[in-house]
Amino acid sequence: MRATWLKIVILGHEKHTTSDLPFPISVFLRRILELDRYNLMCVPMHLVSLYELNRKNELFSIAHELVEQHPKHAVAWFGVGVYYYLVANYMEARRYFSKASTIDPHYGPAWIGFGHSFALEGEHDQAIAAYATSMKLFQG
């Protein structure tokens, strides 16, 4: 069953990149999460699509729910980091990206979040280090 979810997400991602709109992927992800609320494979992409759509309230709500339900999973704290990134509180976002990467040092989305937040504040050396770490995690 997981392979089916993954195929739907990949198809949604391909649609997203070809149309350059976050809407198509958010439709796929919303449907998957309606069927499986805590599908942790889909949640990171869903969080990022909410960021792209500027849905602060929904992102806050989902991140809060993830932390309550899955406090030991990196994706929960990544969700909190994405929320703070969206509201332009980059220092707080880094705090939660750090928590996610402490829980799972191989959790690439947290390292990408680190890189983005450092880059936006002009901390280019730290951004490059974070991106390099994420690149090692996402080889291929």
Output the domain CATH number for residue 16: 1.25.40.10
Q: Are 120 and 90 in contact, with CB atoms under 8 Å apart?
A: yes
Q: How many CB atoms lie within 10 A of CB 32?
A: 22
Please say if the pLDDT value at position 27 is more than 90.
Answer: no
What is the domain range of residue 126? 2-137
Structural contact between residues 93 and 82, judged by C-beta atoms closer than 8 angstroms:
yes
Q: How far does CA 40 lie from the centroid of its chain?
A: 11
Place of tokens 């880094």: 94
Q: Domain tally for the chain?
A: 1
pTM for this structure?
0.76
Q: Are 16 and 24 in contact (CB under 8 A)?
A: yes
The pLDDT tens digits of the residues spanning 36-61 come to 676 677 788 888 888 888 999 999 99
* Residue 125 CB neighbour total at 10 angstroms: 8
pLDDT-wise least confident of 8-22, 72-86, 111-125: 8-22
